[in-house]
């Protein structure tokens, strides 16, 4: 049996190595919001202030409240991980920032935040009520440690 991303890290296993990844030129570089430093291969995403929705499951809900480590994908501005049946992703697009967590079995979004501003790292949820949702409300916070790069 393999352990999920969250279980491994909560038990003290070292985090995935963070190193310079492929350049996300939307956010990193001269004059860009995140500066001249290299694009990381791993970012941390944490959801806070979530409220349970109509389809909330306690075990799943608790997993939503821990920090998840997302890795850079083929698109250098997209980071994701699949953990316990949920797809977590962050995408910094040229015209917007998207953060989402989706239950892959029901295809319901647990968290969605879209802002028409590039390179955001703190975002409120677009899901405004419990009806038909696993969770609602809340904020996403994205971080990484530039000293690891």
Q: What is the pLDDT of residues 110-138, one digit of tens each?
A: 999 999 999 999 999 999 999 999 999 99
User: How far apart are the C-alpha atoms of 82 and 101, rounded to whole Å?
Assistant: 9
CA distances (Å), origin 16, targets 4, 47, 48, 60, 70:
13, 20, 23, 23, 10
Predicted pLDDT at 14 = 58
pLDDT of residue 6 exceeding 70, the answer is no
Which whole number is the average pLDDT over 27-41? 93
Predicted pLDDT at 16 = 67
Q: Is residue 101 a contact partner of residue 64, using CB atoms and an 8 Å limit? A: yes
Q: What percent of the chain has pLDDT over 90?
A: 73
68: closest CA among 42, 34, 98, 41? 42
Q: Is residue 125 a contact partner of residue 111, using CB atoms and an 8 Å limit? A: yes
Residue 61 main-chain phi, psi, to 5 deg: -60, -40
Indicate the average pLDDT of the chain. 88
Q: In 10 A of CB 59, how many CB atoms?
A: 7
User: How far apart are the C-alpha atoms of 132 and 55, rounded to whole Å?
Assistant: 7
Predicted pLDDT at 12 = 47
Predicted pLDDT at 149 = 66
């Amino acid at each position: 049996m393999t352990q999920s991303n969250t279980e491994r890290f909560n038990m003290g296993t070292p985090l995935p190595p963070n190193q310079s990844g492929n350049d996300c030129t939307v956010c990193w570089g001269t004059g860009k919001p995140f500066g001249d430093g290299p694009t990381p291969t791993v970012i941390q995403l944490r959801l806070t202030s979530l409220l349970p929705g109509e389809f909330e499951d306690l075990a799943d809900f608790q997993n939503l409240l821990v920090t998840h480590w997302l890795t850079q994908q083929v698109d250098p501005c997209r980071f994701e991980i699949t953990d316990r049946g949920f797809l977590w992703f962050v995408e910094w697009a040229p015209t917007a920032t998207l953060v989402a967590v989706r239950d892959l079995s029901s295809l319901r979004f647990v968290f969605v935040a879209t802002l028409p501003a590039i390179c955001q790292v703190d975002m409120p949820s677009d899901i405004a009520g419990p009806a038909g949702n696993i969770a609602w409300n809340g904020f996403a916070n994205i971080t990484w440690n530039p000293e690891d790069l």
